[in-house]
Each structure stands twice: as structure tokens, then as C-alpha cells.
Structure 1
């Protein structure tokens, strides 16, 4: 007669009775069937679900931390993952991971779900890093999907997602890389580097693709170096404009942002001019298309701003004339009284 190995949020069906030592208290009556015996092989196959013991952390949803900010509380470990410590794209990858797990009927959110989320970000930094390291993103995504499909699935209605121990460790490694690079936020490159030490999924994935941690670091540093040059150049342009007071009045925020975006994309395109690899050429073509749209919008906003500025200049001139006339009238009135 089959016995049940209970876990938080799910239970596993084994073909023979188990000792009390193998059981953990459950919170949900869900079940997941396993056709193999309760041996070391079975435990190895159930590795993704070992994180449902009480030492794992529950992904209990978002809690607001100020305007536009969220925090994920890991109930069992007491850990907190706050939006405020991540870049926008890194946070997007993290919060997309539970949806990927749910789509695949996984209750525990793990490192493979995060990897898939990062690889599915169109024109994302993760894809650029892997391309720079000589990897094929399509093959990486296929390998990630195959690993996900091999994991046990929860049968029945899930009571919610849970943060896996390996994913929690992955985020902590990313935090360490953030400190190492002296950055203010955990970003995509920190998460990517963290996969090199992921014993669950990432390390073996990189071995299969014959990619070393040093190769990844070199790709990250190459992209970071290029981005740093672009950002520094923009800062120098802004500083020069401020010192020379090139504008009569301040530009609208929307136009200023577009100008900065155009400058940034043009510099990035220029930096790709000597790259001959396919990924760089594809990126250059996408940059050209983005620049075309931005420049059209830039032209429209500039024309509108120049028109509004001329009206304001004219109104200011009229105001000064009115003020001058008023002064003359007052002066004449004072003379008449005397």
C-alpha cells in the first residue's frame, strides 16, 4: 500500500510505507504521484521538492514598502526580498518567476524559473551577456525548458508559491556580487554570475554548454565597461550644457528624456560599429529602428517646445512693455501733482 511523504503545500505518493523520519507536516492536502521506490534514487529525483520542509521559505506575495515598491516575505526563514534593492529588470525577472512555476504546476519557485524569466526578456541584458560569452540564447532557453519539464508537478489546486532554498541562495549570491562591484542595486549581471555557483541548475547548465565562470565575468565586464563609457559621456554633455547655459529656458522633462535616450542609443550604436558578430549586428539594427522612432518624436516635441518658447518670450516682452508704460504713467502723474 502506498504511503505519503507530506510537504508544505503538497504531498508525494510512494509505493511502500515510510518511517516517521521521512515525513514532514503538511499544510495542504495536495498530492503528487511518484512511481519509483523510496530509495536514494527517488530522493535524488525529488530534489526540487526537498525545499518544502519547514526550513524553506514561503513565497507569500507582495507587501508594499512605500510608493511603487514591494517586498516578498519569506515566512519560514524570515528573509525579505525588497523591490527597492533591485534594478527594474532584475525585479521583473524575480516577480515573473512564480508565474513560470505556476504555469508548469510547480509550487516551489526555483533557479530554473528565474533563468527562464531572464531569458524571455526581449533585448534583455541577460541575453546580451550570454551572446557576448558566445552562447546561443535559444539553445539555453530550450535546455532550461527541458529541465523545468523534468521536475515533479503538483496535482490539484495549489495554495500558493514558495521560494525555494536554492533560489534564495541565488539571490544572496547576487547581493554579494553587487557589493563586490560597488553597485547600489542588484542587477541582471549579478544574478547571471550567481548561476555559476547554483548547485541545483545553473552550474550544470553552464558545464553542458562549456562556459566557464571567468568567461561570463569577462562578458559582464565588457558590457559594463561599454555602458560606463556611455553614461560618463552623457554626464559630461549635461555638465557642459549646464556650465554654458546653452538653453534660454529649461527643456520639458519629456523632451530632455528623449534627447538623453537618443544620445545614449547613438553612442551604443557607435560602440558596436567594429563588432562583427551576429548578436552585435542584430542589436545595431534594433538600435537603428529605435533611433528612428525616437528622433521623430524628438522632432515633434522640439518643434512644439520652440513654438511655446517663442510665445512665452513674446508674452514676456509684452509684460515688460506694460511694466515700462506703468512706470512712465506713474512718473507723469507725480510730475503733474507737483
Structure 2
């Protein structure tokens, strides 16, 4: 796997997943480790997408913790990537190509996790995450932009991050 084809945020998420698997004495890096790593390093993309799709992030995190804590513990031995996590990363690379992007970003990996058959994918689906709706929300987040740099996630929805929507404030009576 070529990590140079992943955005910085996605690389950090994979590193977090690896660190977590080691700390929890898991022999394999699984999808639960990847998603937990994504939650740890991403403050913009997943929260925006989950809010847009009315998915309760805290409930997903709590259920994810239960999944990760259920992974088998093995002391000693070499750490390697599990088959399902590897499949999710591979699917993320396929999604990247479908989008015409140059790097695998957090949202590609989220779709990749949704496309595999394991407890994490089932958790995401049970939480209300649907691939077609997720892709629409990603388009809204990106506003037509492509992932052409390793820092692409930092540029998404910049106006939403750094500006106050006065129209929304007025509608809610908070102006």
C-alpha cells in the first residue's frame, strides 16, 4: 500500500489505528481501529457529514468502542492489517479513482468502511449511513473540489468553519 497516495489526515488516521491496535494488544489492525483513528484526527469532514445525515456521532463512537474492545488480544507477535481493513483501504482507493481524485481522503475511507462486510460497516448502516446519501453529502462538503493535495480536507467548507451564517442566525432568532 502506498501511503504517499493518502492525504495527511488519512495517514494520521492509519497511524492512530496502528497505535490503538498495539495499545490494546490486538494482533491485527481492523476496521474499528481505522474508524476510531479517523474520529481521533478528523474534526471537520466526518462531523459535517454525520450532522448533515442526522447521524448521532456520540452513539456511533460508543458502539464502536464496544466493537474495538471485543477484538481478540494477543501478547507479543507482529502487528499486521486485517483482511477486512485491507479491503476497506482498497475500496477507498477505488472510490478515489471514481471521484477523479489524486489522494485517498477521509471521506473515501469512510465509504470504503461502509462497503465491507463486518461489524463496523453494520454499525454505520444501522446508524443510518447510506452510501448514496453519503456521496451526496460529500459533494455538498466539497463544492465540486477534487482531492489534489495531501491537505485537501483542510480546505473543505472553509466558509462554514470560519464564518458565521447570519441568515441562519436571523431565522433562529439569535441575531
Q: What is the TM-score of this pair, normalised by structure 1?
A: 0.43
Residue among 37, 45, 48 paired with 1:125: 45
1:268 shift after superposition: 4.9
Larger radius of gyration: 1
1:168 corresponding residue in structure 2: 86
Per-residue CA deviation, residues 135-171 of structure 1 (Å, 9 max, x unaligned), is 12211111110011122211x3x22211111111111
Say whether 1:104 aligns with 2:24: yes
Structure 1: which 4+ aligned runs deviate by more than 3 Å? 264-276
Say whether 1:191 aligns with 2:109: yes
User: Where does structure 2 lack aligned partners over 5 or more consecutive residues?
Assistant: 146-153, 170-175
1:216 shift after superposition: 1.4
Give distance in 2, aligned partners of 1:169 and 1:91. 16
Say whether 1:218 aligns with 2:136: yes
Give distance in 2, aligned partners of 1:273 and 1:184. 35
1:118·1:124 contact (CA, 8 Å) conserved in 2?
A: no
**Where in structure 2 are the equivalents of 1:310-321 lying within 5 Å?**
none
1:197 shift after superposition: 1.2
Per-residue CA deviation, residues 217-243 of structure 1 (Å, 9 max, x unaligned), is 1221110117x3xxxxxxxxxxxxxxx
Q: Tell me the SS of whatever aligns to 1:120.
A: helix
Q: What is the TM-score of this pair, normalised by structure 2?
A: 0.80
Identify, as 1 or 2, the structure richer in strand: 1
1:206 corresponding residue in structure 2: 124
Higher relative contact order, chain-length normalized (CA < 8 Å, sep 6+): 2
1:90 shift after superposition: 0.8
Q: What is the root-mean-square deviation of aligned Cα atoms in Å?
A: 2.5
Give distance in 1, aligned partners of 2:160 and 2:122. 37
1:198 shift after superposition: 1.6
